[in-house]
Chain A
């Protein structure tokens, strides 16, 4: 109970700060739009040809937005040494991890929904029938991405080469999630039933469990600064 209240305090605080400053969400929305332009320019307007690489492009967009968004998770905590305050607040520090992870999940899902709409418009995708299945894949994949991303963001927040090191550490670890989500999205968009990609969904679920557990257990050591 107390644990949940402490985790919720972090979510509430981060959402409130984000609502006031709108820094991250605004920038990521604009970034998503730019990504769509870049994809179109780089690959040409031929929709037939793009259809084959669409799942990959979609997740490339999610990951790029994630690298920018997740990397900022702890930037606000450096202001006025709030980081010290988090460390000194009595109680299990993993509650802070849970709160930050939940906040990141909400932020990422919002950005991904935005990107999905943009994809549907620009690439003439019909998402109506596949939305529940696609949603499941996106949530499972995003949880894995955010679980490791939140942990690594805390790790790199106080380092010199923060912007450089964060993607360099996160991307190789995320290869399983990336492969699984792209393959599952491919199948879902092709109209296949979820049963056809059950093994990928299992892998994603396993990855989520491993990452979240590892995050909960090691966050204490990362927060020490």
Chain B
């Protein structure tokens, strides 16, 4: 089951590469650099999907106190943080040739970074509570607060940046997206979502074995 998921993810990644490098056209102004979008944008989608899973699993844990829900929340939050890290890194790499700088307080980059820091805090809390049952409870509470906070972060950061200086820089994925680019994006999203699911399943199993070993 898990092995099949792994192969499916690998297959998806291969298809994603073909779509991103082969099928999708070379962007006119930015050239090949723009192809990083096929990792950058899907990975942020996968990250938010993972946080949504962690949110639901956290609520489920507090409701039923079932250890599998806690492990799912833990694994999903970790994978979400990882993919958000990929988003920030690729955004930074993309920013250097296009904006001329590694980092800018662009609204999206900033809000994503704030969410990233929030979930790093979540993982820190996970690591700092000795008693596993208590750690699971606290992490579930934080997982709920963090997820509820994501929309607030987005609105506040967006207004913070745009009300004073309207965005003049080119934004990835504008309103006029050709179908072929959209298709490449979606294929890569599906591929990264499979990778994410595979990671979560693996990580949850590892956490279960750890717990069994300690019990």
Contacts and interface: CB of A to CB of B under 8 A. Distances in A.
Contacts of A201: none
B148 interface: yes
Contacts of B157: 175-176, 179
B118 A160 contact: no
A180 B163 CA distance: 12
Describe B's contact surface by its main secondary structure.
helix
Contact of A203 (B121, B140, B148, B156): B156
Interface in B112-140: 114, 117-118, 121, 124-125, 128-130, 134, 137-138, 140
B144 interface: yes
B155 A222 contact: no
A184 to B, nearest CB: 11
Given A161-B128, A210-B148, A221-B62, A173 B118 contact: yes
B138 A210 contact: no
Interface string B159-170: 110010000000
A203 B155 contact: yes
Interface in A135-170: 148, 151, 155, 159-161, 165, 168-169
Nearest to B61: A221
Contact-residue size bin, chain B (C-beta under 8 Å from the other chain): 20 to 34
B60 interface: no
Contacts of A165: 124-125, 128
Contacts of B153: 175-176
B114 A175 contact: yes
B152 to A, nearest CB: 4
A40 to B, nearest CB: 27
Contacts of B155: 176, 203
Contact-residue size bin, chain A (C-beta under 8 Å from the other chain): 20 to 34
B160 A179 contact: yes
B119 to A, nearest CB: 9
A44 interface: no
A36 B117 CA distance: 29
Which of B62, B114, B155 has the most CB atoms of chain A within a 10 A radius of its CB?
B155
Contacts of B148: 210, 214
Nearest to B124: A168
Contact of B149 (A161, A173, A179, A199): A173
A151 B142 CA distance: 10
A39 to B, nearest CB: 22
22 contacts: A155-B125, A155-B138, A159-B128, A160-B128, A165-B124, A165-B125, A168-B124, A173-B118, A173-B146, A173-B149, A175-B153, A175-B157, A176-B153, A176-B155, A179-B159, A183-B159, A183-B163, A199-B159, A200-B159, A214-B145, A221-B140, A222-B138
Interface of B: 62, 114, 117-118, 121, 124-125, 128-130, 134, 137-138, 140-142, 144-146, 148-149, 152-153, 155-157, 159-160, 163
Query: What 7 pairs across the A-B complex have the smallest Cβ distances?
Result: A176-B156, A176-B152, A172-B118, A179-B156, A172-B117, A218-B141, A179-B160
